[in-house]
């Protein structure tokens, strides 16, 4: 007979579409020590993905981008499958991953400019191609929302402020923004346990 924590582990893996016999050191440690956090983690994931202002497709695409940003292969595959299950096309998944890559690049450049506090760096061109932003498959508002979430993960204050302003101008609400940030935050937390 399974303990409550073992059942929670099993349910979490089922939620993600991962095999129940999957072995992840941190997840197994939480399970073996009957950690109450495991239940919180599962509830947090379910709550984040069921945000009131995001469709399940959008929530899973945000999760794909967040997992890609964290370089978590297991979660990337799991969330890709869930995104497809909820109507995402391969081009949308590819663009969510590309967005994570582009924003990782931009976040480093703009964070450096911010940290250095030197006019010379502000005046030098970034010389980073960003054609994907011009006509995104995901649509401009959602692409900006994903960009904002990845910028929040990567801790780029300037990028967060710019993308938040942009996504609001494109019609998003603060509630939608916060739902997207919650998905990103929970995926990052989950990536510390399932890796």
Residue-wise pLDDT for 128-158, tens only, equals 887 788 889 999 999 999 999 999 999 999 9
Q: What number is the average pLDDT over the span 10-38?
A: 94
CA distance 38 to 30: 7
CA distance 116 to 106: 15
23: left (phi over 0), alpha (psi -120 to 50) or beta: beta
More confident residue, 124 or 72: 72
Nearest to 85 by CA among 59, 47, 51: 59
- HSE-CB for 66 with a 13 A CA cutoff: 30
Lowest pLDDT segment from 118-122, 129-133, 174-178: 129-133
Residue-wise pLDDT for 42-86, tens only, equals 999 999 999 899 999 999 999 999 999 999 999 999 999 999 999
Position 25 confidence tier, pLDDT thresholds 50, 70, 90:
very high
**Which DSSP string corresponds to 88-114?**
--HHHHHHHHHHHHHHHHHHHHHHHHH
Catalytic amino acids? 156, 159
What pLDDT is attached to residue 133?
80
The model's pTM: 0.94
Query: Tokens in use for 188?
Result: 């990052």
* Domain-wise residue ranges, the chain: 53-191
What pLDDT is attached to residue 17?
94
What pLDDT is attached to residue 125?
87
What pLDDT is attached to residue 188?
98
What pLDDT is attached to residue 47?
97
Position 191 confidence tier, pLDDT thresholds 50, 70, 90:
very high
Percentage of residues of the chain with pLDDT beyond 90 = 89
CA distance 136 to 139: 5
Spell out where 19-167 has E strands. none
What is 53-191's CATH number, 1.20.1290.10, 1.10.10.60, 2.60.40.10, 1.10.260.40? 1.20.1290.10
């Amino acid at each position: 007979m399974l303990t409550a924590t073992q059942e929670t582990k099993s349910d979490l893996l089922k939620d993600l579409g991962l095999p129940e016999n999957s072995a992840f050191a941190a997840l197994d440690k939480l399970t073996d020590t009957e950690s109450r956090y495991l239940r919180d983690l599962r509830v947090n994931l379910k709550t984040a993905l069921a945000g009131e202002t995001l469709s399940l497709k959008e929530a899973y695409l945000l999760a794909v981008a967040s997992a890609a940003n964290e370089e978590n292969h297991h979660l990337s595959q799991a969330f890709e499958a869930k995104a497809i299950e909820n109507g995402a096309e391969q081009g949308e998944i590819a663009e969510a991953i590309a967005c994570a890559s582009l924003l990782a690049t931009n976040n480093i450049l703009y964070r450096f400019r911010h940290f250095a506090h030197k006019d010379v760096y502000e005046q030098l061109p970034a010389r980073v191609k960003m054609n994907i932003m011009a006509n995104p498959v995901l649509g401009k508002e959602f692409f900006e929302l994903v960009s904002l979430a990845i910028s929040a993960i990567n801790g780029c204050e300037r990028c967060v402020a710019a993308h938040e302003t942009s996504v609001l101008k494109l019609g998003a609400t603060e509630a939608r923004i916060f739902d997207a940030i919650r998905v990103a935050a929970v995926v990052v937390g989950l990536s510390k346990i399932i890796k």
